[in-house]
Amino acid sequence: SARATLHAMWTVFGTLAVLRIANAMTLRTRTTICVGQSARKSPTMSAAVRVRSETWPDSPGGGQRSAWLVASGSAMGKLTDVGRCGVEVINMSADGLTGGSEGWPHVRPRAVLSGTLYIENAFRRRGLAQRLLRAAEAKARWFGVDEMLLLVDQKNDAALTLYHKMGYRPKPVLAEHGHQLCMAKHLYLPSAANLLSLAPQRPLHL
């Protein structure tokens, strides 16, 4: 049938897209961090970085379900945490606002990147932020939601570039968000960003 044919075409397209993206990622070098006109060797991990899920160090923001994600690897013979972020499910509108059902009829459970997506300075620009964000998206899917929201400073160009690359799109600027911009991503939309997120994650060596 036509539906079966379209499904088969999408499966082939998805597989090829994942392979092309994965192959492109292997060509990137992450051996140095540039500082001005010079470059210094960045710290290295003796084993691949792994992302683990923990309980929140403090109380989360009142979400129905939540997880605290920590990226760590072995450096100089000991386990070192190099990045972290949180994700929780909160009843909110598509624009990232919370409220009662009467004032906000479109409020429903949505995943929120909660807390700062933080990477230690020495380990930035090596794909770790993307790996943590994909882990947060995977956790959101496991929680049973189909949309992920986040807030980012409107002047943080590096973060805006990262989130846009990962498939997040800005929502209308609202006074309620102050200087921050709400961005959203549908976690099941057939896109290259979601295909890479859904694919098995290759070991990340820093």
- Do 35 and 125 touch, CB atoms closer than 8 A? no
- Give the closest residue to 166 by CA, choosing from 150, 180, 179, 142: 150
Q: Is there a contact between 131 and 71 (Cβ–Cβ < 8 Å)? A: yes
Segment 135-139 shows an average pLDDT of 94
> Among residues of the chain, what percentage have pLDDT more than 70?
67
Task: Band the pLDDT of 32: cuts 50, 70, 90.
Answer: very low
Q: Residue 34: which pLDDT band, with cuts at 50, 70 and 90? A: very low
Q: What is the mean pLDDT of residues 120-146?
A: 92
Q: Look at residue 163 in the predicted model and tell me its pLDDT.
A: 96
Contact 10, 190 (CB under 8 A): yes
Supply the pLDDT for residue 154: 94
* Cα 151 to Cα 32: distance, rounded to the nearest angstrom: 30
- Give the domains, in start order, of the chain with CATH numbers: 44-198 (3.40.630.30)
Confidence band, pLDDT 50/70/90 cuts, at residue 43? low
Local confidence band at 187 (pLDDT 50, 70, 90 cut-offs): very high
| Most confident stretch, 29-33, 41-45, 175-179 | 175-179
Two tokens, residue 17: 């897209």
Write down the pTM of the prediction. Answer: 0.72
- Residues with Cβ within 8 Å of 124's Cβ and at least 6 positions away in sequence, in order, are 33
Over residues 46-92, the pLDDT tens digits come to: 557 788 888 777 666 666 789 999 998 876 667 788 899 999 999 98
Residues 6+ apart with CB under 8 A from 155: 179
**Three-class DSSP category at 146:** coil
Contact (Cβ atoms closer than 8 angstroms) between residue 74 and residue 122: no
What is the Cα–Cα distance from 76 to 45, expressed in whole angstroms? 8
